[in-house]
Amino acid sequence: MSVLSSPAALRPRRLAIAPMLDWTDRFYRYFARQITRRTWLYTEMVTTGALIHGDASRFLRFDEREHPLALQLGGSDPVDLARCARLATEWGYDEINLNVGCPSERVQSGAFGACLMAEPQLVADCLKAMQDVTDRAVTVKHRIGIDSVEDYSYLRDFVGQVHAASGCTVFIVHARNAI
Q: Which of 84, 102, 126, 168 is catalytic?
A: 102
115 is catalytic: no
Closest CA to 118 of 85, 165, 155, 63: 155
The pair phi, psi for residue 85, each rounded to 5°, is -65, -40
d(CA 70, CA 103): 20
Asked if CATH classification 3.20.20.70 holds for the domain at 8-174, the reply, yes or no, is yes
List the chain pLDDT tens, one digit each, 179 residues: 344 444 555 556 667 777 777 788 889 999 999 998 888 899 999 999 999 999 999 999 999 999 999 999 999 999 999 999 999 999 999 999 999 987 677 766 678 888 898 999 999 999 999 999 999 999 999 988 777 777 889 899 999 999 999 999 999 987 666 66
Note whether 98 and 168 are within 8 A (CB).
Answer: no
Neighbour-count burial of 174, counting CB atoms closer than 10 A to its CB (0-12 exposed, 13-18 middle, 19+ buried): middle
